[in-house]
Amino acid sequence: MLKRLCVAALCLAAVEANAAATDKLRSFIAATRSAQANFTQEVQDKNGKRLQYSSGTMQFERPGKFRWEYRKPYEQLIVGDGRKFWLYDVDLEQVTVKKLDAALGSSPAALLSGSNEIERGFDLKNIEERDGLEWLQATPKSSESTFEKILMAFNGKSELVRMELHDAFGHHTVLRFSELKSNPSLSPQRFRFTPPKGADVLGE
């Protein structure tokens, strides 16, 4: 009888631990008005071979404002001003612009800065703990999504520390966040973008 109780208690503990991932996401969205962090981004093929590695800094302020600066190995800037999504490739001197609504769900930058877009556009479920982190899986409700699924991981402090994005081509993008600061005071200028003189502007 005692053994059965112990097994039941362990099962209940596992369920509670898994349930914490979606709870932490909702708490993160509710409590985090703005944030900034360093990040690394690694793109892998379906066999786990590294195709690309980059790093930089990110900032966001809800709703719909964000700034991701890729610094290594190539400079690239992604800005959301609340209405439009801007992507500036420094080396190519090329700017791509689209309506922010069209970008939501297709970019981790836009996804994190939305008010509750991940709940509207994705089905959430808790998955097993891995690497000492609590994980959830977000599966898009729309068949037109860029991603087949997105995994998000939280540490014991309820901080978002990792995102894993899986696309339809078998590519796997891993984002790792460090030195995350919640609700910093960010200048409005950080979320404004004017195409540099001479840059080619594509899109709207």
Element (H, E) at 147: strand 147-154
What is the strand order of the sheet 160-167 is part of? 122-130, 133-140, 147-154, 160-167, 172-182, 34-44, 50-61, 65-72, 76-81, 84-89, 94-99, 200-203
Bridge partners (DSSP) of residue 184 are none
pTM for this entry: 0.81
Q: Evaluate whether residue 11 is within a structural domain.
A: no
* C-alpha distance from residue 144 to each of 97, 121, 151, 173 (Å): 20, 11, 18, 19
d(CA 147, CA 188): 30
Q: Evaluate whether residue 174 is within a structural domain.
A: yes
**Residue range of the domain that includes 123:** 17-203
The pLDDT score that the predictor gives to residue 116 is: 66
Helix (H, G, I), strand (E, B) or coil at 204: coil
The pLDDT score that the predictor gives to residue 26 is: 85
The pLDDT score that the predictor gives to residue 117 is: 67
* Number of domains the chain contains: 1
In the chain, what is the straight-line distance between the N-terminal and C-terminal CA atoms, in Å? Answer: 68
* C-alpha distance from residue 25 to each of 6, 7, 131 (Å): 30, 29, 18
Q: Which residues of the chain have pLDDT under 70?
A: 1-19, 102-107, 110, 115-117
DSSP conformation class of 169:
T
The pLDDT score that the predictor gives to residue 146 is: 78
Type of residue at 201: V
Sign of the four-CA dihedral 174, 178, 184, 190: negative
CATH number, domain at 135?
2.50.20.10
Q: Evaluate whether residue 7 is within a structural domain.
A: no
Q: Evaluate whether residue 1 is within a structural domain.
A: no
The pLDDT score that the predictor gives to residue 168 is: 82
Tally the residues of the chain: 204
**Where would I find the H helices in 32-129?**
100-103, 108-113, 117-121
CA-closest candidate to residue 181, choices 9, 20, 38, 40: 38
Q: Evaluate whether residue 3 is within a structural domain.
A: no
Burial letters 34-65, b for 16+ CB under 10 A, else e:
bbbbebebbbbeeeeeeeeebebebbbbbebb
